[in-house]
Chain A
């Protein structure tokens, strides 16, 4: 785990504070989230206190401090999606996954996140699972979408 942080930091020798956010983004991309260890190391590298690093990271929606699920579900909370009933889709998702937004399931299979407008407003309501879009989702179709992923996970398990 340490190596990933160091690998990223090596790409930013003598970096200034303006490299902080790109570094955080790259570290999270590599490790899946920002650990205490990463934050401390980044702080040391940039000559900034950990409190500063943590303060910056917690400001932005993008940064996670806990690992995500195998399938990361994002639901768009944009206006168009709302106007077309995304609130009901969110409730259905929470029920189907047994999660509240921002949480990861116990078995590590799913995590749920409410995101700002994905930008596919013509196809509202939209959800994305690991980046794959599903358009015009309704509370009724949520269950089958999730079950497809559960099935996929089981199949991956069987293979692996």
Chain B
């Protein structure tokens, strides 16, 4: 801009003022490009700070209203907050934020008073809202309510409340993908840009050619975060180097692993990060059309994504001629219809094409011949969401994080028998122990740790002896597990590992597409063997016992063939949970098979019910409840169970008021 064209940028430029200043976006991204005037520059800077809510002039109340927050009751919390505001007549802004990751403490409610650090409160169910807000607005910390605070320059800290960086759950984390989740307003593109968003897109579009961009990503060492671990830059290059009149980028947001919700959190909490990543990837391969294939079970994420796409379009960050670079991109959302196998690349493509989601043989690989026969790159949500920050910090810095073969960070969904369930993001190379014990806070209720399952139905378990395994694609494979999409389920002594294997095999059987014989029929028979091992003690006949003994051998033989010959990754990795539990917990299998005993008392049909004669009061309640009349005993005398008649239903245990029934 020349001196003659000095402009005083108006405050309205940050909202969707009509007509928008034509230089708005460039101004934001390359600021202070056009802003010659010092006053205007100061105004822009203060606008940026206001959007980032470094400090606020009006109090802001944040409610963690991601799906897990809602599951914990955040809807009620939100209503109560709005009611409180109405009743007290307080001037305060309410922002619904995504999931910050500490799901165990949800519903989370943050209050940011002017001049003070943002205070985060825990377990704020509807009934606690009034009390907590009254306290905070009176500058008092509610007893037992404070979780942590976000200190900042020039802000007054709350006394005796740990900062976010100090909190044991967050301290060891390095958040690249989850950087904004739980902190920002996911429905504000302005805030995303104020925090540096879309800068990476602007820089790559202006300074890098497509092939240079692919090289950069190859240098970064970024590998697919959906489970495959394929080098992202390499995949892009296959597509870039294949000539075609149309190329596609597909974002895999199907997230079918039971126990994984990383992708959902990112889309609900920071959707623009994904869009920016998609735009960078699409530019790299030369795609002008992109699809987000997202599970229908994620309605909030879908809504946020739709809104974010609309906003990006209105800011010229999607659509035609993005940032005057000549690059066009249109993003279409496709909802999955409920099929885990559609997380597999070729099955996903078939699903978008309107067919049954059945995989195809590869070659040809999707990057060369994919959706509608065109070169298609399919990247996971997390992979794409790494890109903006990766370019902001620089690919060398990214590559410096992690191990020799696995760079950057990984998001994990920590769940199961662990104190701090939720989402964590750690740098590659962190030990599993650190995640489970330090961040997760270990196993609750004084139970003993047994194993941690990594990688869902394609993964394996890690026993206590190998907790020091580092998070690294290859290291995990060596111990029989797999990075997978990042589901980390902790198990304690009350979990039965054979049951866990059976659970995953059951899942695989239900989700198998049925196309290839080893997976369709092989996992079916493996499941039957596992069922025979964990069930049916009482209904068993002689022949079945023989099958049971054969079982372990057959499991291993079948596993080998299924791994060797299945058509797709679902089948190839289906035997992993079984092989992994067999490797580390073989004694449990043998106990189930030969002794017909389940030490963790999970396999109900293997339990033996007895009555402790010392504790029994002879009330006859159990005898009356028993559906097979398997309990005998006179009134006021100790009762006993006739084992041959007992079917193991457990009703006696349920009704006994004296605690005399034992299940072993």
Chain A interface residues toward B at CB < 8 A: 16-22, 24-25, 55-56, 59-63, 76-84, 115-124, 126, 131, 133, 135
Contact = CB atoms under 8 A, between A and B. Distances in A.
Contact of B68 (A17, A25, A120): A120
A16 B415 CA distance: 42
A119 B354 contact: no
A119 B264 contact: yes
Contacts of B463: none
Contacts of A63: 337-338
B356 A59 contact: yes
Closest 10 CB pairs of A and B: A122-B103, A61-B338, A78-B258, A60-B337, A20-B354, A79-B259, A120-B71, A80-B415, A119-B261, A17-B354
Contacts of B334: 21-22
Nearest to A128: B71
Interface in B472-530: 487, 489, 491, 495, 500, 503-504, 507, 511, 513
Nearest to B342: A60
Interface in B351-383: 351-358, 372
B104 A21 contact: no
B453 interface: yes
B491 A83 contact: yes
Contacts of A115: 297, 338
Given A20-B354, A79-B415, A120 B335 contact: no
Interface string B269-298: 000000000000000000000000000111
Nearest to A118: B297
Nearest to B495: A83
A76 B503 CA distance: 13
Contact of A133 (B70, B340, B507, B513): B70
A95 to B, nearest CB: 11
Nearest to B492: A83
Contacts of A79: 257-259, 415-416, 453, 456, 487, 489, 503-504
Interface of B: 67-68, 70-73, 103-104, 106, 255-261, 264, 296-299, 334-340, 351-358, 372, 413, 415-417, 421-422, 453, 456, 487, 489, 491, 495, 500, 503-504, 507, 511, 513
Contacts of B106: 122-123
A62 B357 CA distance: 13
Given A80-B415, A120-B71, A56 B338 contact: no
A126 B71 contact: yes
Contact of B339 (A20, A22, A61, A120): A61
A84 B494 CA distance: 10
Contacts of A131: 299
Nearest to B511: A116
A122 B340 CA distance: 21
A56 B354 contact: yes
Nearest to A123: B71
A23 to B, nearest CB: 9
Given A117-B259, A119-B261, A123-B106, 11 more contacts: A17-B355, A21-B351, A25-B337, A60-B336, A78-B259, A79-B456, A79-B503, A121-B259, A121-B413, A122-B68, A135-B73
Contacts of B507: 77
Nearest to B335: A25
Contacts of A22: 334-335
A22 B504 CA distance: 30
A56 B495 contact: no
Interface centre among A17, A19, A117, by most chain B C-beta atoms within 10 angstroms, is A117
Given A22-B335, A119-B298, A121-B261, A80 B489 contact: yes
A83 B513 CA distance: 25
Contacts of B257: 79, 117
A55 to B, nearest CB: 6
A116 B340 contact: yes
A136 to B, nearest CB: 9
Contacts of A24: 337
A21 B337 contact: yes
A122 B104 contact: yes
A122 B258 CA distance: 12
Nearest to B256: A116
Nearest to A120: B71
Contacts of B511: 116
A31 to B, nearest CB: 16
A33 to B, nearest CB: 14
A66 B490 CA distance: 38
Contact of A56 (B296, B336, B356): B356
22 contacts: A17-B355, A62-B337, A79-B487, A79-B489, A80-B259, A83-B495, A84-B416, A117-B259, A117-B261, A117-B297, A118-B71, A119-B68, A119-B264, A119-B298, A120-B71, A120-B261, A121-B68, A121-B261, A121-B415, A122-B68, A126-B71, A135-B72
A55 B603 CA distance: 37
A17 B261 CA distance: 30
